[in-house]
Amino acid sequence: MFAVIKEQHKGVDVCISNAGLAHPELLLNGKTSAWKNMLDVNVLALSICAREAYQSRKERDVDDGHILNINSQCGHQVFPNADVHFYTCTKYAVTALTEGLRQELRAENTHIRATSISPGFVETEFASRLYRDNYDKAAALYTKYKPLEAKDIVSAITYVLSAPPHVQV
């Protein structure tokens, strides 16, 4: 992916990682393969994208830009829903990843910023994928909680990207 971006656009200045998937696998008896899938998508993919975006700027002597991770409220709070406890573990990792990235960027004396946006429930296919065998359970989540819309997340991203260079959100 980054090789294609380099070829077509010379590099990456803004990297927005919006990875997130969950499997309803409990901590006490969940499938290892599902846990690995969540770690690969929710944590490892973000780490790779952050590294590659930073290296892209470094190769081009660009000392500006943004690495933005779309996280989750689950990255800050454990909700009483066993179906998403392992997913929550991965989102706590995104919180730590973003803060570690921010510290490393600061230690490199770069002007590249790192931000984590942690929305609550967003109206996407997330619930229907989580509960693909139980439509009623997925639909109930959207009636129990008033979900955010994609445009709400876009507004948050726009705010972060439009903040002055000396502002860390």
Domain that residue 51 falls in: 2-22+31-121+153-162
Residue 142 known to be catalytic: no
Q: Tell me, yes or no, whether 145 lies in a domain.
A: no
Evaluate whether residue 133 is within a structural domain.
no
- Residue 151 in tokens: 């445009």
Q: How many domains does the chain have?
A: 1
pTM for the whole structure: 0.89
The two structure tokens encoding residue 86? 């392992």
CATH number at residue 52: 3.40.50.720
* pLDDT for the residue 28: 97
Instruction: Name every residue whose Cβ is closer than 8 Å to that of residue 55 and which is 6 or more positions away in sequence.
Output: none
> In the chain, which residues have pLDDT < 70?
none
Q: Classify residue 129: in a domain, yes or no.
A: no
111 belongs to a structural domain:
yes
What pLDDT score does 9 carry? 87
pLDDT of residue 131: 77
Contact between residue 38 and residue 22 where contact means Cβ atoms under 8 Å apart: yes
Catalytic-role residue among 87, 92, 131, 159:
87
Whether residue 89 lies inside any domain: the answer is: yes
Residue 22 confidence (pLDDT): 93
The answer to the question of residue 169 being in a domain is no
